[in-house]
Amino acid sequence: MNILEVNDLSKIFHLYILHNKKIEALKQINFTMKEGEIIGLTGKSGSGKSSLMKCIYRTYLASSGEIIYASRSGNIDMVKADDHHIIELRKNEITYCSQFLSVIPRVSAVDVVCENLFRTEKDKQAARAKAKEMLEDLGLPTELWDAFPVTFSGGEQQRINVARAIIAEPRFLLIDEPTASLDTKTKDVVIDLILNLKKNGTSVLCISHDEYTLDRLVDRRLDLHLGQIAAVEMESN
């Protein structure tokens, strides 16, 4: 079964405040994604990887085309769906993990990780225990668990960001550069955590520049070039 079907997707930014400039970020993108598949999105900076991911999550409004997501309750076009429907899907099925952690003031590292879990898990202590386990796996020093992440290093914030995205085991995960700025050992932990999600049925779209991550993680690569799909490669493993 396909979890995602992208048909003739285009995105043009119309910048009124920049002399009406138009920027064509995505041109006629077509691809499908099977349930439980991990697709690696590759390409140079500026090739449209993040734009594509944000169109799927509806952070960007696509200019034309359709993005059919097979939700638990039926197919839905992410381009046209009502905002409230998207909010519901984001709560229950689709998680987006950006490259950078957007910190929440005065909330501890553990609670930042737990935020999505608190929605379903009413037992806060149980949720926190799960978060701590994950932060331990990711090698985040215990003395940081109750601290506020705003002052953390890039790598520390990144691990919190990844933990936060995967802890509630989303059905469909969009993840941008999950292993950038991490050492090899921590990279492996992150890769294993994502592979573990896949084992439980999660479909993953992952942006990465890192050959090692792509080799270990993805089933298939989509290579973007100037807003178009330049190549589709199957991984041999």
Partner 1 sequence: MTWNEDNWLLRVRNLTKIYGDPNDNTLALTGPAFNSNICPETDSIVACADISFDLYPGEVLGIVGESGSGKSTVVKMLYFDLEKTGGAAWLTPYQDGGVNILEESNQRKRYIRNNLMGMVYQNPRDGLNFGFSSGGNIAEKLIMSGNMHVGKIRERSSDLLNKTEVPIQRMDDRPGTFSGGMQQRVQISKAIANNPPLLFLDEVTTGLDVSVQAKVLDLIRELQNDLGIAMIVVSHDLSVIRMLTNRTLVMKNGRVVESGLTDQILQDPQHEYSQLLVSSLL
Residues that bind partner 1 (CB under 8 A): 13-17, 54, 58-61, 72-73, 82-89, 92, 104-107, 118-119
- The pair of three-digit structure tokens given for residue 219, joined into one six-digit string: 């089933």
Shortest spacing between CB 61 and partner 1, in angstroms: 6
Shortest spacing between CB 68 and partner 1, in angstroms: 17
Shortest spacing between CB 66 and partner 1, in angstroms: 17
d(CA 121, CA 128): 10
Shortest spacing between CB 52 and partner 1, in angstroms: 13
- The pair of three-digit structure tokens given for residue 122, joined into one six-digit string: 């009413």
d(CA 190, CA 176): 13
Nearer to partner 1, 22 or 34 (CB): 22
Shortest spacing between CB 42 and partner 1, in angstroms: 22
d(CA 101, CA 157): 6
Nearer to partner 1, 35 or 60 (CB): 60
Nearer to partner 1, 105 or 184 (CB): 105
Nearer to partner 1, 138 or 152 (CB): 152
Give the end-to-end CA distance of the chain in Å, rounded to a whole number: 22
Nearer to partner 1, 105 or 143 (CB): 105
Strands 38-42 and 203-207: parallel
Cβ atoms of 39 and 218 closer than 8 Å:
yes
The answer for 58, left when phi > 0, alpha when psi is -120 to 50, beta otherwise, is left
